[in-house]
Amino acid sequence: MENKTSKYFKYAIGEIVLVVIGILIALQINNWNENQKKNRIKQTYIKNLITDFTNDTIQLNENLRINFEYKQNIDSTLNFINNSTPNIDTIYHFIKKSTNSGLRVINNYNDNTFGILISSGNIDLFSNNLTNELMELNRLQKSEKSVSDGNKDYFFETLNTYQSKYYLPNQINNSFLEAYLWKDKNVQDVITQFINMKQQQLHTVNRYIELTTLVLNKTEMILQELKSNTDI
């Protein structure tokens, strides 16, 4: 009986050990499957982020190129006016012949993937470092958009104020009508409003270039990190 009891206990213990080992193996396999599933999801997000940021860098570089041209033209106009002082007639004639360009300070960021990451909670799939970088990029994008929109609106207010009084020369090709429309204009007011409008345009372009460059640099840094390490 003692031998049978001893064998029974040994058998029971062996069964328990086997069950525990089986459970542990099952848990390990389940964890491995879950990790594989999460990794596949993360890789999909990485691929989408790379696509988004690649498109952003193309757009931002092109917009910056255009705005550097705007800046060059505005600087040239203001430099001419400053260097023509005190020849008011020259400045006045120059302003009458000037065409007023608008602005292109709107960036359409590809932030759908980031938005899904936040709303779904899957941002936790990434390291704390990358998460912080993505959050900082989103903050920079919002800041750029807010500042650029505000400056843009104020510029168009000053532009509309100027244009409501003084026509654009490319709208009229009749020299007689041109002379009539400019007759008895307040020279001081023309020059003052034109300079104010150009200075606001320059400020808007400069701030856009400054803030968009920050966004572009951060985007390129994260993009390089995503491309070089898919196990983030």
Alpha helices in 85-127 (DSSP H): 88-97, 112-120
Sign of CA dihedral 55, 60, 61, 66: positive
In this predicted model, what pLDDT tens digit does every residue of 11-65 receive, in sequence order? 667 777 777 776 777 667 666 666 678 788 999 999 999 999 999 999 999 999 9
Domain range holding 87? 2-228
In this predicted model, what pLDDT tens digit does every residue of 122-154 receive, in sequence order? 999 999 999 999 999 999 999 999 999 999 999
* pTM to 2 decimal places: 0.83
d(CA 144, CA 206): 12
Residue 168's contacts (CB-CB under 8 Å, 6 or more residues apart) are 99, 100
- Comparing C-alpha atoms, which of 126, 131, 71 is closest to residue 101? 71
Total number of domains in the chain: 1
Cis peptide before 86 (omega within 30 of 0): yes
d(CA 207, CA 30): 53
